Amino acid sequence: MPDQTNILAGSALVVTSINPPNAVMTALRDGARDSGVRFVIIGDTKSPADFKLDGSEFLSVDAQRATGLKSAILCPTRHYARKNIGYLLAIQGGAPLIIETDDDNYPRPAFFGTRDRAQKASVVAAQGWANLYRYFSDVPIWPRGLPLDTVNAPLAEFETLTSTTVDCPIQQGLADENPDVDAIYRLLFPLPQNFRADRRVALAPGAWCPFNSQNTTWWPETYPLLYLPAYCSFRMTDIWRSFVAHRIASANNWHILFHESTVWQERNEHSLMRDFADEVPGYLNNARIREILDALTLPAGAARIPDNLRSCYLALIDAGFIGREEIVLLDAWLEDLAAMAK
């Protein structure tokens, strides 16, 4: 198991925003600066033309295209998937870790703390879906992207899980106050909600729980899996990315860690009914997507990840869940990564 502990210096923090500098981004900038972390902010066509936050690197769409990255040219504007350009710039700069969040997540001090790839955690080994939020809360709650018919499915008691040290090159931190839940939850149940901070849970290969892009840490072997698809529902882009990452992580015998909240969210303005409409493709198809990905034969090894990534997305394109235009954008991503490796 790789023994990789990082005190963050030299790592990269990636955010995308269409807003002027706010209190969250200032707090992220302060923490990044104090920790020696590169702070990359990816703008879009709606971002302020005069955006300026000392201690950060803000890239307008024009600046992104000037990088020469194929992804920066081909990625649609007004889309969260432009965050891909930020990941690529972090990779190009040799970041030993990539951390991502959003411009409405306030960091707690632990957000800029040491990251360990090897984690002692309670392991969920049962195959299929697991509502991991239930291990961190006593109230009914589930993560965005979890199939609704599995929200209350039987789950092993926490005390019966095996606690051991496992390799976790993808780590999902939770978010307090306004956690990442779907529109149905927001329409029906009370917020804010906070999670308990005394547990860490790892998904073994074959166990599934959606993870998001709000508080996530990635180690270099997993960098190709950062890719966010653009030709799908906006509310599913990071969720379906997580499903692809799950499948390829399983092929490599990696675990995916869920850990205590190191951010709290003061959520940007949303239309809950529009969010609901954008989440319908997930409500209807997430279980089927897992079945399709599980049925693929994927070889192990970091060198096989680009081909495995392409196989996963082609399967989702052929099933009609993602637009066929996606393969052009994915190939640009893989070409950009390959060029950096030379």
CATH number, domain with residue 191: 3.90.550
Q: pLDDT tens, 59-110? A: 999 999 999 999 999 999 999 999 999 999 999 999 999 999 999 999 999 9
Quick one: pLDDT at residue 3?
Answer: 46
Residue 4 has a pLDDT of 53
Q: How many domains does the chain have?
A: 1
What pLDDT, in 10s, does the model give residues 189-237? 999 999 999 999 999 999 999 999 999 999 999 999 999 999 999 999 9
Q: Residue 54: how many CB atoms within 10 A of its CB?
A: 8
Separation of alpha carbons 121 and 65, rounded Å: 42
d(Cα 174, Cα 204) in Å, to the nearest integer?
18
* Alpha helices by DSSP H, the chain: 23-35, 61-65, 70-74, 83-92, 183-188, 237-251, 272-294, 305-318, 326-341
pLDDT given at position 7: 65
Q: Classify burial at 46, counting beta carbons within 10 Å of its beta carbon; exposed 0-12, middle 13-18, buried 19 or more.
A: exposed
pLDDT of residue 58: 98
Are 145 and 236 in contact by the 8 Å Cβ rule? The answer is yes
Residues 289-316: what's their mean pLDDT?
Answer: 98
How confident is the model over 9-67, as pLDDT tens digits?
899 999 999 999 999 999 999 999 999 999 999 999 999 999 999 999 999 999 999 99
Say yes or no to pLDDT of 308 above 60.
yes
Reported as a single tens digit per residue, the pLDDT across 280-299 is: 999 999 999 999 999 999 99
What is the structure's pLDDT at 8?
87
Answer whether residue 117 shows pLDDT above 70: yes
What tens digit of pLDDT does each residue of 130-177 get? 999 999 999 999 999 999 999 999 999 999 999 999 999 999 999 999
Tokens 């302020």 label which residue? 48
Structural domain harbouring 233: 5-341
Tell me the per-residue pLDDT of 234-268, one tens digit each, with 9 for 90 and over.
Answer: 999 999 999 999 999 999 999 999 999 999 999 88
Please name which of 136, 119, 129 lies closest in space to residue 257, comparing C-alpha atoms: 119
Whole-number pLDDT of residue 6 = 57
Amino acid, res. 74: L
